[in-house]
């Protein structure tokens, strides 16, 4: 009797990484563009612009890519697809929610104090 070890999902690892990186770059450029347009025509709409599909779609696709990458990487060691996705999906959702909340707070600070309101050098 032979013990069969399945091939690791290398395609899904690289596909998830590719989707995560490309969507992250799209999210970065969209966010930069919205912040630039806000500073050219200031309104009270900057944190509310985070609710548009234009900015949420790249962020959600980036989370999907990260989830596939993380689950495929876990599948190499755990050898169980359900367990790998069961661990990576809540972790990705939790981390994404924290990043989204922190981004909203950071944009509020940027709106209230400008670029000097975000002082990263103070301890």
- pLDDT reported for residue 90: 96
b/e string for 61-93 if b means 16 or more Cβ within 10 A? bbbbbbbbbbbbbbbeeeeeeeebbeebeeebe
Q: pLDDT under 50 in the chain at which residues? A: none
Q: What are the backbone angles phi and psi of residue 119, rounded to the nearest 5°? A: -105, 110
- pLDDT reported for residue 78: 82
Its pTM surpasses 0.85:
no
């Amino acid at each position: 009797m032979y013990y069969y070890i399945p091939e690791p999902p290398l395609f899904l690892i690289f596909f998830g990484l590719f989707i995560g990186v490309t969507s992250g770059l799209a999210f970065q450029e969209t966010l930069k563009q919205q912040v630039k347009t806000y500073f050219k025509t200031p309104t009270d709409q900057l944190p509310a612009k985070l609710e548009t599909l234009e900015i949420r779609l790249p962020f959600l696709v980036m989370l999907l890519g990260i989830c596939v990458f993380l689950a495929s990487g876990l599948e190499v060691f755990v050898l169980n697809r359900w367990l790998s996705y069961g661990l990576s999906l809540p972790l990705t959702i939790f981390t994404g929610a924290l990043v989204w909340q922190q981004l909203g707070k950071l944009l509020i600070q940027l709106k209230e104090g400008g670029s000097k309101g975000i002082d990263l050098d103070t301890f």
